[in-house]
Amino acid sequence: MAMLNINPHKLAVGDKVKTNCDALVQDKLNRFGNMLGTNGKIHTDPEFAKTAPAGDVLVQGMLVLAPLHSVFCTLFGEDVWLTHGAMECKLIGATHPSEAITYDVEITAVEPNRVTLDYSCIKANDTKVAVGTATVGIEG
């Protein structure tokens, strides 16, 4: 069986990866929510959201994080990510639809069978809204 290459870009500790996502329109939040069950009023009803503690619609945490799937597929290969990938996400801040997000990824460990990284999702005002770690690793 061919050896699985988990690090096709030869990532090294300290390498940094970046991408971004533009502000989202309400229609995308609604469609995403209806598709995945994250269609609570705080995400889909601007009038309700005005009266909630957040004061405005909140983008679903998973919609904020979703571009990372494409980033990790690009870094490691789709089959590697989907067979040996794991991630932890902490949602630590609110994202409103008008706010663009920058994704910062930093490689923190590279071993023969495992690559580990930290990531942050950051608004234009430098507020982090989600942070976490991800690994691709083959046991044994």
Residues that bind another protein (CB under 8 A): 9, 11-22, 24, 28, 31-32, 35-38, 40-42, 48, 52-53, 60-63, 65-71, 73-75, 77-79, 81-91, 103
Asked whether 103 and 18 are in contact (CB, 8 A), the reply is yes
| In the complex, minimum distance from the CB of residue 3 to another protein, in angstroms, rounded to a whole number | 19
Asked whether 22 and 33 are in contact (CB, 8 A), the reply is no
Compute the radius of gyration of the chain from its Cα atoms: 17
| In the complex, minimum distance from the CB of residue 48 to another protein, in angstroms, rounded to a whole number | 8
Closer CB to another protein, 32 or 115, in the complex: 32
Closer CB to another protein, 78 or 111, in the complex: 78
DSSP 3-state helix, strand, coil percentages of the chain (rounded to 5)? 30, 30, 40
Closer CB to another protein, 32 or 126, in the complex: 32
Of the candidates 46, 74, 75, 72, the one whose C-alpha atom is nearest the C-alpha of residue 58 is 46
Tokens 């430098």 appear where? 126
| In the complex, minimum distance from the CB of residue 127 to another protein, in angstroms, rounded to a whole number | 17
Closer CB to another protein, 38 or 116, in the complex: 38
Residue 4 gets which letter from DSSP? Answer: P
| In the complex, minimum distance from the CB of residue 90 to another protein, in angstroms, rounded to a whole number | 5
95, two tokens: 């994202």
